[in-house]
Amino acid sequence: MDSAFLEPCLYTVKAVFILDNDGNRLLSKYYDPEFYSSIKEQKNFERNVFNKTHKADNEIAFLEGMTIVYKCSIDLFFYVVGSAQENELMLMSVLNCLFDSLSQILRKNVERRCLLDNMEGVFLVVDEIIDGGVILESDPQQVLQKVSYRADENPLSEQSVTQVLQSAKEQIKWSILK
């Protein structure tokens, strides 16, 4: 037998990105250094993907030799990109895990403003699902447990530095205005 058939392989992702309803980048992570290495090439690829998918009612697209699975929600488009040989079901499970995890973090309010307000959590979720292009997790509950996010509570010890500073600014502003 050929040794190439015996080598184990991992499911991999070439890129993950989230665009708004105008096709502007909100988040992107490219895992393959040979796959659109410059920002200009990446944005051009994202624009081509958006133009092909934003009016379509599908879940999968093939563009430039890549398999792209996507989902839209209100004013956001979520994309997971893999090679042409990648298993579409695995890519879709990554996309669903990403969307479901973010839905929990954003308290079912998956829209542009909420996503931008919680970018640190979004990056944590993406990093828990994919590491260096290798799919690590596809269960949203496991991802949420790993990032220690609780949708119902966010005590001071779990708040980000940005949230603490914002809260302090608000308190100072109101104490000065009194």
Q: Can you give the pLDDT at residue 152?
A: 43
Has residue 74 been placed in a domain? yes
7 pLDDT above the threshold of 80: no
Domain range for 133 is 13-152
Has residue 173 been placed in a domain? no
- Looking up residue 145, the CATH number of its domain turns out to be 3.30.450.60
* Lowest-confidence pick of 28-42, 140-154, 163-177: 140-154
Number of structural domains the chain divides into: 1
The predicted-structure confidence for 118-153, as pLDDT tens digits, reads as follows 888 888 888 888 888 888 888 888 888 888 754 444
DSSP string across the chain = --HHHHS----B-SEEEEEETTS-EEEEEE--TTSS-SHHHHHHHHHHHHHHHTT---SEEEETTEEEEEEEETTEEEEEEEETTS-HHHHHHHHHHHHHHHHHHTTT--SHHHHHHTHHHHHHHHHHHEETTEE----HHHHHHHHT--SS---GGGS-HHHHHHHHHHHHHHHHH-
Q: How confident is the model at residue 171 (pLDDT cuts 50, 70, 90)?
A: confident
Q: How confident is the model at residue 159 (pLDDT cuts 50, 70, 90)?
A: low
Has residue 97 been placed in a domain? yes
157 pLDDT above the threshold of 60: no
Q: Can you give the pLDDT at residue 38?
A: 85
Q: Please report, rounded to a whole number, the percentage of residues in the chain having pLDDT higher than 70.
A: 86
The predicted-structure confidence for 53-105, as pLDDT tens digits, reads as follows 888 777 888 888 889 999 988 888 999 999 888 888 889 999 999 999 888 88
162 pLDDT above the threshold of 80: no
Has residue 166 been placed in a domain? no
Closest CA to 80 of 159, 7, 18, 164: 18
Closest CA to 63 of 76, 79, 78: 79
Has residue 43 been placed in a domain? yes
Has residue 70 been placed in a domain? yes
